[in-house]
Structure 1
Amino acid sequence: MTDHRPIDAAAWMAARGWQPFAFQQEVWDALAQGASGLLHATTGSGKTYAVWLGALQHLAAAPADPATAPPLAVLWITPMRALAADTLQALRVPLAALAPHWSSGLRTGDTASNERAAQDKRLPTVLVTTPESLSLLLARADARERLSRVRLVVADEWHELLGNKRGVQVQLALARLSGWNPQLQVWGMSATLANLDEALATLVPAPAVGACTPAAPPPRLVQGRIDKPLAVQVLLPERIERFPWAGHLGLALLPQVVAAIGQAATTLVFTNTRSQAERWYQALLEARPDWAGLIALHHGSLDPAVRAWVEDGLKHGQLKAVVCTSSLDLGVDFLPVEQVLQIGSAKGVARLLQRAGRSGHAPGRSSHITLVPTHSLELVEAAAARLALAGGRVEARHSPRAPLDVLVQHLVTVALGGGFEPAALLAEVRRAPAYARLSDAEWQWALQFVRQGGASLAQYPDFHRVVPDEDGVWRVPDARLARRHRSNIGTIVSDASLRVQFVGGATLGTVEESFVARLRAGDVFLFAGRLLELVRIEQMTAYVRRAASGQAAVPRWSGGRMPLSNTLADAMLVQFERAEQGLFDSPEMRCAQPLLALQAAWSALPTPGRLVAETLHTREGWHLFLYPLAGRLVHQGLAGLLAWRAAQHEANTFSIAVNDYGLELLSARPIDWAALLPRLLAAPPDTAALQTEVLASLNATEMARRRFREIARIAGLVFQSHPGEQRSSRQLQASASLYYDVFAQYDPDNLLLTQARTELLAHELDLDRLHRTLDALHTRSLALHALQRPTPLALPLMVERLRERLSTESLGDRLARMVQALEQAADATMGTQLAGTLTTAHWDLARDAPDTRPSARARRGRTPRPPRAG
């Protein structure tokens, strides 16, 4: 006899000794009323069970046939494959007691072919998937039959998707699913969002115009903030570097990192780049060879089987430490993790909170994160992060507005998924918040683009991807084009990668082609925690063997340089102001005091009310250093703008360098910056005027060409791969450049060209933030200082410029001489509080003097040995 008793989530929790929080009960009530919503709750406080148990109470109370699992009812979307596998395990825990008749499954790029085949016959009741895999389901001819009975879609870690094209991809999918089922409920979850109302409005599709079904309750915003202890510590160096620069990886603190790992059962060691993760993993093994097999490496380029082994070891408490990147950033539940180490600045408050939450990931447990600065200025960033956390300030995220490349891809997907009628689909697309203001002209352009490739490609059959049939339904008529589209669905664009594989053995993962292209047979590089020798490259595979010795290169993957967030930058300016007032009320600021005192003695500290500028004359030319503290993207645009404006007054040649703190302009001729700079920093009347100047100041055509490559790939002009084929990045770049040139010459009004320029300004130069920065700089007093030598804030900018034309070893040797001379002058200054005696001539001599120290290789004394297996 069928049991129709309602499911009691509270009783299930009570049986485990748990008491539901008020926000969990609020979500349960909202789900029972048919409402959609956004849950914003503290990391590790029970967000998943708030939504999942509420869904089971609402959707699974009365099985029609206990012997057969119901059809797909819940889609759970996660932004990462590692998070997907972990989420599925968490969802399965209450199923046996509360909904034993429900089936569950996983569908991502890592799903085995036999499981995919089973799902092709029948989807499980709850399916955990990614945005890309959901789009693939929508591209099936029977998509409506299989997905129209979905009753709930959950967007996990919504903050991770909200601000990018993957989030737009989800918006379009939700608009389609809610059109098939007007009663569809949509819930998002996040722990690190600032603009909650906007995040909610972006998540839930707008109601269909003229819908006959009863109106759904208004979307609910549920706040589940729970006071959860967060301990933020900083490893302080024994000796402060008064002249820091970015690039050395903080390995001077390796003994302290080893000690911190040794004191905890399990530690996650976060780095900001995969190359940094490789170096730190190798360094830890060399420091503690007895930890072989107890520490592991995890990043997105490693083989899925390796990542799965690491994740399983974390869950079961079998690993002492894992060195990782953002591949373990999100809500993966590793209860044994006691502490988190962050190598270098997290560059944003939200990212810091997210990573800290990986420890103590359960209600009632505290989280611990220890920051490991890689240079002295990151001590100030750490203190600024404390200040921002104390004030509850977190970065906002905003959805892209109507990206046409994503729309074009979606049109082909929908044409494959049963076809569409343009008028009905336009109404559906406009229900996705990103396309609410999509114009009729943009829509007609998108239709013509998928029909014939636009005005300049109409003669080529490959671009006749979607055509109307005799009934007016637009479909994909060519099976070959259909296969090609399905193989390239998604908005994640990266350089082509080569598989790294032992000769006759296992696969280790992938590295970007641009790195491998620089290697020759016999070269040694560090990857997957192993020292490897390149044997040969064949068919997009780099065959390797273990290397006994050699100076190792480290792969560098694109996308690793995250800009300083405006929230953290503002907090840094406050910390500088407090330092100027003599307030050093944190261990980090007391440690950084010698650097800050020297900067104040030789120049001044930037503050919320003061813009500091510095000039210096060396044999290289005339330097201007400026410190807006607005992040490297804004500084890139600002530096180009200032150089262009200065050249309008008098012809000159400039070299540019930027970092998160400031910018450097190096000119071939002297400039009276005192007279000119206030005029150059004037804000234009509006963003449009600023855009005109910025585009004129940069090589905007070449930068837009690079941006166009990504757009062309998403829009289906070029393909990352065909079925059974992987294209090289050189092929992709050549194809994209060809299309760019064709459009520019024969179809200049092509909206993909317009999008490339728009994205260049919005994402690579952050035009809106640049405009706000100029407005803010106008309100600050300008403090211009003529220098005899580089200050602690100036030297890192000089290093950025020198790095472009010097090898790593040459740069290190040259910097050692520079810093030695600067330290001598600093000792004189701070010892007497008078100007140092090192003149500009002495500075040039110190910089160019021959090096009499042992070579870098001799100083190292030995080459690294390969790590033990495991």
Structure 2
Amino acid sequence: MPTEIDAWFSGRGWRVRRHQKEMLAASDAGRHALLVADTGAGKTLAGFLPTLAAFTPSRLAGAEPPEGLHTLYVSPLKALAHDVQRNLVTPVEEMGLPIRIETRSGDTPTDRKKRQRTKPPHVLLTTPESLSLLLSYPDSFALFAGLKRVVIDEIHAFATGKRGDLLALALSRLQAIAPDMERAALSATLADPEGFREWLAPFGDVDTVDLVEGEPGAPAEVEILLPQEERVPWGGHAATWAIPQLYEEIKRNRTTLIFTNTRFLAEYVFQNLWTVNEDTLPIGVHHGSLSKEARRKVEGAMARGELRALVATASLDLGIDWGDIDCVVQMGAPKGSSRLLQRIGRANHRLDCPSRAILVPGNRFEFLEATAAKDAVDEGQRDGEDFRPGGLDVLAQHVMACACAAPFDEAALLAEVRSSLAYAWLDAADWDRVLTFVATGGYALKAYDKFRRIVKDADGTWRLTHPEHAARHRLNAGIIVDSEMLEVRFKNGRSLGKVEERFAASLRPGDTFQFAGINLEVERIKDMELTVRASSKAAMIPSYGGQRLPLTTHLADRVRQMLVDRASWARFPDDVREWLEVQDWRSSMPGPGTLLVESFPHAKKHYTVYYTFIGWNANQSLGMLITKRMEDRGLSPLGFNANDYCLAVWSLRPVADPAPLLSPDILQDEFVEWVQNSHLLRRAFREVAVIGGLVERQHPGKRKTGKQVTFSTDLIYDVLRKYEPDHVLLQAAWADARTRMTDIGRLGDLLDRAAGELVHVELDRVSPLAVPVMTLIGREAIPQGSVDDELVLEAETLASAAMRVEGLEPLDQ
């Protein structure tokens, strides 16, 4: 350890922790390293210690400091990169090290981006997308030739998805440019460290990656908030019942960080808190749709300790270091123990000080999920997503980026691509199909000049057909394909952020909506902008069509175990315990090894409820498949609804035997037909077409609207389905539709188990366990949170029937 670093730690009253020393030792030995350590353990500093050490006078020994880019830091969030810059500058300045540190993201000014390529800082903090764009420039070879180190923060947040595919390909390219480059990755919440070691290792050589485990920290203190005078709600997700209690908690603390699972709920919870804010406490809101200026303002206020509370989405749940946060609140279900632990870690952010968190369930199933998550955190159990083969659309984007940088040799690039775990599976046939697509658009599109982007020369190298393709690639490259957004601006030009085009299409001049904590009135809608002014009128909140956070299998299994562990019910509130007891008395419990299916009449219809615990996406898919099979059998299905825990289907005729509806062959027959003819495959194709570069969202000075992009992709989709059904992007879209959009893996596991685990119970009325999903019927198109009062009333009506026991007085529910 350099004496300068030892002295700096001592001067602050700190000690260099074991895992920090091990990360430096791994680097000194020329090895890659994966650090798994609790929040507050100094992970980021551990990742940067080798960089700091390289610039200390004792190691320079009189030599000049190294020039050029030395260390690349990659994070999943722009906010995290800016936070790291703030915290890294302190030790650099206090030790007097000659290190220049800068960030690079979509928010970085164009002139600074250009300068960074010719005169780079020593440390560059960036995201996978910005790194990929850097690699598309001809000067990238000179820029990265002297790169010594890449630090990947919060590796769990993207390694298993398409952003991870893009980063894996970028790492392979960097390793080819700088063969001695060291890789380091950091995380607090890995359920499978060995899997991530394999992902991190170049050429699949996991023996080159050291696993460094951090010193254990103080256990987190987690509690579940319950209504003081009312009951735990039957339905709803916004948990607005907790607002008065939450406000009292905010008044007791210096700073409270409140997490929600969606942007809608962030705005909704903020508005409810502001309504009860009689003391005019400084409370902020933060999510990804707000403008850069609005986000930076809030982040700065938090860093300076000026806010008493901040309501945020996942835009702030990774690694942000704000030491004055007393308490973290999770509004609604946590959906996973690792995600919850990550958010809890934002409180106190010190290894020796327990992080305090409050979980606020929106309904009774969410209470069970919150309890399961709390138990998992208490026991140190983690969960996470499985690794999957890399996407061909991402590979096509990377191939184009490489062509933009310089002509490439086909065999050399294939070897480079295969050196990453995500694409080690890639065979020659798929590789050739990707190259053909990038070169011509594919067989059905090769007659169109616009799709001819690269060509193979006589010497076997591939090059761009025209330099303009490089500019178009850099303008459109990226992995995150959100719904099309419209800018929200005041008349003076100040931007507040963006709302989805789908929401904006419902607005007219004079309409009002709440955004960025302000009531706004629409003055004009033109092109891709909403011009607004502040208003005192009542206003609605924009809804967003983003992906739902999935319930992890680990947490689902814990909830099922809890349902049959009757001894554990004694720790639950009386109303929750009685809910489960009456369910157990009147029907059955859907525990491990049991697929409970209930049938009952209600409101002159026949209902069947399947307790699957496989998440919303998989339950939605199952609903589509079951209703199709019911139609074929003359059962006249009328509709279905789902949550993470169960699926409710209603029909004119009863389901006497649900087993034939759940046979595994449904995935070979109805599933294929449904996906191919549904909007899901078209939606998946739209995303892969944008990622793969087939359809461009932006042209110089102009951006296509969402309708224009959809029209373009639908047109091409129909052509390919007819003339080239094995097109590489149709294959990629099919893979997306099967996994991400329908969660086919969990659905397949359920159907495989169904024959041996199915328990069918026929009832004369709705069961207690079915009440939460029954209250959602007819609410699909209404934003969650806005109908909570109606849900409560409807739930009470259903519950009175479900909880009634003949011969006894109704339970005091």
TM-score by length of 1: 0.88
Partner of 2:711: 734
* Pairing 1:721–2:692 present: no
* Deviation, structure 1 residue 726: 1.6
What are the superposed Cα offsets for residues 147-194 of structure 1, whole Å, 9 maximum, x if unpaired?
Answer: 121111111100011111111101001101111222111111111111
1:78-123 deviations in whole A, cap 9, x for unaligned? 1100001011122222223557222211111111334324313300
The answer as to whether partners of 2:92 and 2:99 remain within 8 angstroms in 1 is yes
Out of 208, 224, 228, which is 1:238 matched to? 228
Q: Mark the runs of 5 or more structure 2 residues left unpaired by the alignment.
A: none
Match for residue 734 of structure 2 among 748, 751, 757 = 757
| Map of 2:662 onto structure 1 | 681
Aligned to 2:597: 613
Structure 1 residues 263 and 810 mapped into 2: Cα distance closer, same or farther (>3 Å)? closer
Question: Do the aligned partners of residues 86 and 835 (structure 1) sit closer, same or farther apart at CA in structure 2, a change above 3 Å counting?
Answer: closer
**Of residues 570, 573, 594 in structure 1, which corresponds to 2:560?**
573
Residue pairs, 1:115-134, within 5 angstroms: 115-134=112-131
1:43-82 superposed matches below 5 A: 43-57=39-53, 62-63=59-60, 70-82=67-79
Of 201, 212, 215, the match for 1:222: 212
1:278 to 237, 260, 267: 267
Post-superposition offset of 1:539: 2.2
Q: Is the 8 A contact 1:379 1:589 kept in 2?
A: no
- Supply the distance in 2 between the matched residues of 1:64 and 1:726 (Cα, whole angstroms): 53
The 5-angstrom pairing of residues 11-410 of structure 1 reads 11-57=7-53, 62-63=59-60, 70-96=67-93, 98=95, 100-206=97-203, 218-239=208-229, 241=231, 244-247=234-237, 249-291=238-280, 294-410=282-398
Q: Cα distance 1:225–1:808, how it changes in 2: closer, same or farther (>3 A)?
A: closer
CA contact (8 A) 2:768 2:803 kept: no
Deviations 1:772-812 (A, max 9, x none): 22344444361413132x23332332333311478999977
**AA in 1 matched with 2:267:** E
1:9 and 2:5 equivalent? Answer: yes
Distance 1:396 1:808 in 2: 26
Q: Distance in 2 between matches of 1:471 and 1:809?
A: 62
Residues 38 and 351 in structure 2, CA contact (< 8 A), matched pair in contact too? no
Tell me the SS of whatever aligns to 1:665: strand
Structure 2 residue aligned with 1:596? 580
- Counterpart secondary structure, 1:655: strand
State the 1:638 CA deviation.
Answer: 2.7
Check 1:265–1:740 CA distance in 2 against 1; reply closer, same or farther (3 A cut): same
Give the Cα–Cα distance (whole angstroms) in 1 for the partners of residues 775 and 505 of structure 2.
Answer: 26
Distance in 2, Cα, partners of 1:184 & 1:812? 54
The 1:289–1:419 alpha-carbon spacing in structure 2 relative to 1, beyond 3 Å, is farther
2:477 aligns to what?
Answer: 489
Contact 2:284–2:311 at 8 Å: present in 1 too?
Answer: yes
Corresponding position of 1:707: 684
Q: Secondary structure at the match of 2:289?
A: coil
CA separation in 1, counterparts of 2:784 and 2:480?
Answer: 31
Q: Could you tell me how far apart the structure 2 residues matched to 1:59 and 1:167 are?
A: 30
Task: Kindly indicate whether residue 672 of structure 2 is the aligned counterpart of residue 695 of structure 1.
Answer: yes
1:521 aligned residue: 509
Q: 1 CA distance for matches of 2:315 and 2:803? A: 44
CA spacing shift, 1:833–1:373, aligned 2, 3 Å? same
Considering only aligned residues, what root-mean-square deviation do their CA atoms show, in Å? 2.7
**Contact 2:265–2:785 (CA under 8 A) maintained in structure 1:** no
Q: Is the 8 A contact 2:235 2:791 kept in 1?
A: no
Q: How do 1:778-793 and structure 2 match up within 5 A?
A: 778-780=755-757, 782-788=759-765, 790-793=766-769
2:491 to 495, 503, 508: 503
Q: Deviations over 1:430-452 (max 9, x none)?
A: 11211101010111111111111
Give distance in 1, aligned partners of 2:751 and 2:684.
Answer: 25
After TM superposition, give the deviation of residue 610 of structure 1 in Å: 3.3
Letter in 2 for 1:744: R
| Aligned residue in 2 for 1:635 | 619
Hey, what's the Cα distance between the residues in 1 that align with 2:92 and 2:785? 58
Render the CA deviation track for 1:557-615: whole Å, top value 9, x for unaligned: 2225222211111111122112xx243353x4555223223333443332224332221
Compute the displacement of 1:297 (Å). 0.9
Residue type matched to 2:556 in 1?
A: A
Quick check: 2:76–2:154 contact (8 Å CA) kept in 1?
A: yes
Cα pair 1:383 1:575 within 8 Å, conserved: no
The change in CA–CA distance for 1:831 and 1:146 in structure 2 (over 3 A counts) is farther
Report what 2:549 is aligned to: 562
1:641-695 CA deviation, whole Å, 9 max, x = no partner? 43444455556435221111100121232331xxx223443446xxxx8354422
Q: How does 1:454-493 map to 2 (within 5 A)?
A: 454-469=442-457, 471-493=459-481
Which amino acid counterpart does residue 782 of structure 1 have in structure 2? V
How far did residue 716 of structure 1 move?
0.6
| Partner residue of 2:774 out of 798, 801, 816 | 798
Question: Offset at 1:397?
Answer: 2.5
SS of 1:508 mapped into structure 2? strand
The one-letter code sitting in structure 1 at the alignment partner of 2:103 is L
Per-residue CA shift, 1:424-479, capped at 9, x if unaligned? 11111111211101010111111111111111111111111112346543222423
Structure 1 stretch displaced more, 751-760 or 79-88: 751-760
Q: Is 2:746 the partner of 1:769?
A: yes
1: distance between equivalents of 2:675 and 2:416?
A: 39
For 1:411, the aligned partner's letter is V
Contact 1:70 1:101 in 2 (8 A): no
Alignment deviations for residues 50-72 of structure 1 (CA, whole Å, 9 cap, x no partner): 12113333576644987776110
CA distance 1:62–1:45, shift in 2 (3 Å): closer
Percent identity, aligned pairs only, is 36
Q: Deviations over 1:344-387 (max 9, x none)?
A: 11111111001000001123121011011222322111111122
Q: Measure the CA separation in 2 of the matches of 1:679 and 1:805.
A: 31
Report the TM-score, using the length of structure 2 for normalisation: 0.94
**How far apart, in 2, do the equivalents of 1:341 and 1:451 lie?**
51
What residue identity is the alignment partner of 1:130?
Answer: T
User: Given that residues 144 and 180 in structure 1 are in contact (C-alpha distance below 8 angstroms), is that contact kept between their aligned partners in structure 2?
Assistant: yes
Distance 1:812 1:467 in 2: 58
Gap regions ≥5 residues in structure 1: 209-215, 837-870
Question: How far apart, CA to CA, are the structure 2 residues paired with 1:323 and 1:431?
Answer: 42
Alpha carbons of structure 1 residues 699 and 716: separation in structure 2 relative to 1, 3 Å: closer
Change (3 A) 1:704 1:831: same
Aligned length: 811
Tell me whether 623-632 or 466-475 shows the greater mean CA deviation.
466-475
2:261/2:332 contact within 8 Å kept: yes
Contact 1:466 1:476 in 2 (8 A): yes
Q: 1:423 to 1:64 in 2, by over 3 A?
A: farther
